[in-house]
Amino acid sequence: MTAAESLLGVRIGVVTFPGTLDDVDAARAVRLAGAEAVSLWHADADLHDVDAVVLPGGFSYGDYLRCGAIARFAPVMAPLVKAAEGGFPVLGICNGFQVLCETHLLPGALTRNDSLHFVCRDQRLRVENPDTMWTSDFRAGDEIVIPLKNGEGNYVASEETLATLEAEGRVVFRYLGGNPNGSRHDIAGICNERGNVVGLMPHPEHAVESLTGPSTDGLALFTSVLRSLVQSA
């Protein structure tokens, strides 16, 4: 079986919570990468045999209490957390990153932007770690442009946690051209120890087609996980 034939069977789930905005965009990115996009509903505690999951951006449950704080208790999250702890690939984008931090699949938290304003712009990033399941199609040091849109994108963590992330190479993306939200160490995205769980604030699903995005740089996150899944099969 060729690699192209193997990709035909890859199914990537995209979770929809009440208040999710970018599930359709994420599903389109999955299809453009060559996989089947499978819609997963927040109230269904079943991953439906998908091979990976994307937690998309938006305002899950209206961001009440704290961004991602309610979504972490959604029925779909119980099997997702268990699977992720076993090596299952999960990508959290913006609000999805916040949810991953709330579930403690990733350390730290996302707080109000230091400017106290919502930020929406095309953002330059540097790829720091191309060795995760979601970044293998990049090279270390690659500079990419991906849209950013958030009001609570300020990544914070203890000094000990920040030191660990840096020492272990778990900072995946870093802001370039100015820090848009006050994130410590200019962190735009991180991963867990195994590299199967990645969270980032910018929106790669909005940078997959030249007609609608500032670049097609975001598509590499979705092709990367396909390559990782095929190679591990």
Q: What's the pLDDT at 99?
A: 97
Q: Which residues contact 5 (CB under 8 A, 6 or more apart)?
A: none
Residue 58 — φ and ψ, nearest 5°?
Answer: 140, -150
* Inter-CA distances, 90 with 47, 146, 209, 222, Å: 12, 19, 22, 11
Q: Which residues contact 63 (CB under 8 A, 6 or more apart)?
A: 19, 95, 152
* Inter-CA distances, 158 with 30, 165, 174, Å: 34, 11, 18
Identify the active-site residue in 102, 128, 191, 203: 203
Q: Active-site residue 205, yes or no?
A: yes
Identify the active-site residue in 67, 102, 205, 206: 205
Q: Is 33 exposed, middle or buried (0-12, 13-18, 19+ CB in 10 A)?
A: buried
Q: Active-site residue 94, yes or no?
A: yes
* Inter-CA distances, 162 with 79, 173, 190, Å: 28, 14, 10
CA–CA gap between residue 32 and residue 119 (Å, rounded) = 27
Helix pair 219-232, 23-33: axis angle to 10 deg = 60
CA–CA gap between residue 223 and residue 229 (Å, rounded) = 10
Residue 59 — φ and ψ, nearest 5°?
Answer: -135, 70
What's domain 3-232's superfamily in CATH? Class I glutamine amidotransferase (GATase) domain (3.40.50.880)
* Local mean pLDDT, 10-residue blocks, the chain (233 residues): 56 97 97 97 97 96 83 96 98 97 97 95 98 98 98 97 98 97 98 98 97 96 96 81
Q: What's the pLDDT at 65?
A: 77
Domain boundaries, given as residue ranges, for the chain? 3-232
Output the CA angle 119-121-125, nearest 5 degrees. 105
Identify the active-site residue in 94, 101, 102, 206: 94
**pTM, to two decimals:** 0.95
Q: What's the pLDDT at 3?
A: 45
Q: Active-site residue 152, yes or no?
A: no
